Structures are given as C-alpha cells and as structure tokens.
C-alpha cells in the first residue's frame, strides 16, 4: 500500500470511529460499537470514562446477553443503559445437529426475519460460518440462498451477535477460532455493516478472533474487494471463481457480466496481502459444466502468479437446482491437474449436508414462507 493510501485509510478509520452509534426507535444499539464509540457516548452522558472499557469487556469478551449480567457496573449507569440502549442480540430459534458433528443455528432477527449459521467442529477448535445478509441478490444459479432472493442487509449488531451467541454457547472450554463469511449473503455488498463488525470481531480487546482466521468470501464484487483491501483489517479473502470461461461464469454467476473473470483476477492481484498470506479461490464443481480436465488446466493458467490456494467444493445438490455433483474420480482428476502444476488444492466436501447446513443450502429466509 502506498503511503498516501495508508494515510487516507487512517483518516477513513478515524471518521468511521467518530460515527455515532446507530439507533433504533430511539435506543442505541451497542453491538458492533468500537471502544472509541462507546467512550464518546459515555463521555457525552457524563459517566466516568472507565465504564466504556467495562462495557466493552462485558459485550465482547464475556458475551453478556443483557445489561443485568454486568454486575460490576454501577446501578445508575445500568439504569441509563436499560432505558436508552440495547445490546441488539438476536435469538437462537432452532438448532440442528448433523451426523458429522456440525450444528446449524436458525437465528431470528429483530424484525422476525430468519438467517442461519453453521458451526463446524474441527480438531481442537471450531469454525463458524456466518451470514451477512438475509438472502442474497447475486442470484448464482447453483445456490439455494440466491434462489430464494434478497430481503435485506444484516446490521453490524446482528452479524456480531451471531458470533457472540455461539461463543457463549461453547463456553470457556471450547474454542471458537475461525470465522468464515460463507453463510447467507454477499458480504462485500454489505460492507457498511460488515467492516465495523470485522473491526470488533478481530480487535484483541474485543471478540479477539485473529484477523487471519477470519475469511470473507465473495462472488467477485470488485469495488468491494478494493474497499476491503483499503480497510486494512488483515482478514483473509476468498473468491468464488467457479468457472474458467466468461461464457460459463455468466450463466452460473450472473454477476460475472458486471465483473468478468479477467477484471476480477486483476483485482485479486492488487489485493494487499500480508507476508506469507494467500487468497483462497473456491471452485464449486458442477458436473459437465465446469469440471473437465481442460477447465483445471485453464484454472491453473488463470491463477498464475497469484499467491493462492484452491478449495474444490463438489456441488451440494438440491431438487430445486438444475445441477449435479461430479463423481469422486472426476473431482480427483481435476485436483490432480492443479497439484501437478504445484498449486495447493484441497477437496472440501461440505459439512452439515443432512441438516441443510452445507455450502449453498442456507435458505431459512424463504423456507419459513416469507419469500
């Protein structure tokens, strides 16, 4: 990053921090607020400055569900909070456990709308797959979230609450180590809320998830990739490429008509990566559409020179989607081409297929009849 752009970014950050905390029906919605924002609010109300840090710790470290749990906060301050603010938590409406150990949560948002998140158990830690929008407007034809259409943006409080509610459920013994923005929605079309959420999620004094362990996945929204890079948060970027020819990508990911493959890869080349870090390219394998050995060779050519790894995701079928999953042999042949060209390429069979929790299956927002 040039000195000029990093200066601009610092300025942008200060402006973002100086924004007032969002209000709904006259109440401050605190989840998603930075320490600075809490300090400003608390100072303006005439309470001692150290209360901000206490509140911040209760919100993001202790995962308090409401103000009544914050027992070391003065009565007077708590009363003010109860009358003028809300944390803005969302409610877990349902939880389903998969045979493979992953868990799907259905969350109810403040207006009754539903989103889903999936907790994936790995060896020694957990990864949470979070949502950033109710539905998705991008409309990829292999994805059930896209099939259901778009309802609205999620707020920063709703995004952060998904993480805190699950962290609270896991308790002290179980580690929530990784976050992937691969649930419902296109995070780079909601950066006004996603960036503030990322800030508190990765703040060592906040939710404290290591930035490099937070992955934002995009269908390839180029201005969003640039803005995420400029925000300089150190989070990881994943790009759902899914095709090697514009003629194919135009059909399965209509957003390709706006941001075609070559422009998208140029934006990836310019994305500011920290030392030894790589971009992840996701590639959903659809039988007879994008899964040939020739596609694999073309993928290797396209990604040349980009520090990257490739995740091959065999398509998760659904009767409403007009695609099939390739055979394991075909998936392995695709992978082998990439390995032969010295790429890191793994096959990722999604978790939670039996509970509707796999990649592309999250659809609570329209399954509940609100579509």
140 touches ligand SF4 by CB under 6 A: yes
Helices (H), the chain: 3-18, 35-44, 50-56, 75-84, 144-147, 156-170, 191-202, 222-231, 246-252, 261-270, 293-302, 328-340, 364-367
Cα distance between residue 252 and residue 261, in whole Å: 13
Catalytic residue among 40, 63, 116, 193: 116
Q: What DSSP state is assigned to residue 61?
A: I
Q: In 330-361, which positions are buried (b, 16+ CB within 10 angstroms) versus exposed (e)?
A: bbeebbebbeeeebebeeeebbbbebbbbbbb
Q: Which of 39, 145, 236, 290 binds ligand SF4 (CB under 6 A)?
A: 145
Active-site annotation holds for 136: no
- Looking at beta carbons only, is 138 or 180 nearer to ligand SF4? 138
Q: How near is the Cβ of 287 to ligand SF4 at its closest, in Å?
A: 18
142 touches ligand SAH by CB under 6 A: yes
Among the residue ranges 32-40, 102-110, 213-221, 268-276, the one whose residues contact ligand SAH (CB under 6 A): 213-221
- Looking at beta carbons only, is 315 or 343 nearer to ligand SAH? 315
Q: Which of 55, 90, 109, 143 binds ligand SF4 (CB under 6 A)?
A: 143
Cα distance between residue 60 and residue 208, in whole Å: 8
- Looking at beta carbons only, is 202 or 219 nearer to ligand SAH? 219
Picking from 316, 314, 308, the residue whose alpha carbon sits closest to that of residue 332 is 314
Active-site annotation holds for 359: yes
Residues found in the chain: 371
Phi, psi (degrees; rounded to nearest 5) at 207: -70, -25
Instruction: Count Cβ atoms below 10 Å from residue 194 Cβ, excluding itself.
Output: 29
**3-state helix vs strand vs coil in the chain, percent to 5:** 40, 20, 40
Picking from 34, 43, 17, the residue whose alpha carbon sits closest to that of residue 157 is 34
- Looking at beta carbons only, is 102 or 316 nearer to ligand SF4? 316
290 touches ligand SAH by CB under 6 A: no
Residue with the shortest CB distance to ligand SF4:
146
Q: How near is the Cβ of 143 to ligand SF4 at its closest, in Å?
A: 3
Among the residue ranges 71-79, 95-103, 123-131, 135-143, the one whose residues contact ligand SF4 (CB under 6 A): 135-143
Q: Which of 136, 166, 200, 279 binds ligand SF4 (CB under 6 A)?
A: 136
- Which residues contact ligand SF4 by CB under 6 A? 136, 138-140, 143, 145-146, 185-186, 219, 240, 360
Catalytic residues: 116, 359
């Amino acid at each position: 990053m040039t000195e000029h752009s990093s200066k601009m970014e610092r300025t942008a950050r200060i402006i973002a921090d100086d924004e007032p905390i969002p209000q709904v029906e006259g109440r401050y919605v605190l989840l998603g607020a930075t320490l600075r924002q809490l300090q400003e609010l608390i100072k303006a109300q005439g309470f001692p400055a150290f209360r901000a840090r206490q509140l911040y710790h209760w919100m993001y470290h202790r995962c308090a569900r409401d103000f009544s749990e914050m027992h070391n906060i003065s009565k007077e301050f708590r009363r003010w909070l109860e009358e003028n603010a809300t944390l803005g938590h969302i409610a877990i409406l349902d939880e389903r456990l998969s045979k493979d150990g992953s868990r799907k949560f259905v969350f109810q948002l403040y207006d009754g709308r539903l989103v889903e998140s999936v907790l994936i158990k790995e060896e020694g830690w957990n990864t949470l797959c979070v949502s950033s929008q109710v539905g998705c407007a991008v409309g990829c034809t292999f994805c059930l979230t896209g099939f259901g259409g778009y309802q609205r943006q999620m707020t920063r409080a709703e995004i952060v609450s998904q993480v805190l509610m699950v962290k609270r459920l896991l308790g002290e013994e179980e580690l929530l180590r990784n976050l992937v923005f691969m649930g419902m929605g296109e995070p780079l079309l909601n950066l006004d809320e996603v960036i503030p959420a990322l800030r508190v999620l990765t703040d060592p004094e906040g939710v404290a998830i290591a930035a490099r362990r937070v992955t934002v996945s995009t269908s390839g929204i180029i201005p969003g990739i640039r803005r995420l890079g400029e925000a300089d948060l150190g989070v990881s970027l994943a790009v759902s490429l899914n095709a090697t020819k514009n003629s194919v990508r135009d059909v399965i990911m209509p957003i390709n008509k706006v941001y075609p493959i070559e422009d998208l890869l140029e934006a990836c080349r310019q994305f500011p990566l920290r030392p030894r870090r790589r971009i992840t390219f996701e590639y959903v394998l659809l039988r007879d559409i994008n899964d040939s050995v020739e596609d694999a060779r073309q993928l290797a050519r396209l990604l040349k020179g980009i520090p990257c790894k490739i995740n091959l995701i065999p398509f998760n079928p659904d009767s409403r989607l007009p695609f099939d999953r390739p055979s394991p042999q075909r998936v392995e042949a695709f992978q082998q081409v990439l390995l032969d060209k010295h790429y890191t390429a793994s096959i990722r069979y999604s978790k939670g297929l039996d509970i509707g929790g796999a990649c592309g299956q999250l659809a609570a927002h329209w399954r509940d009849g609100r579509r």
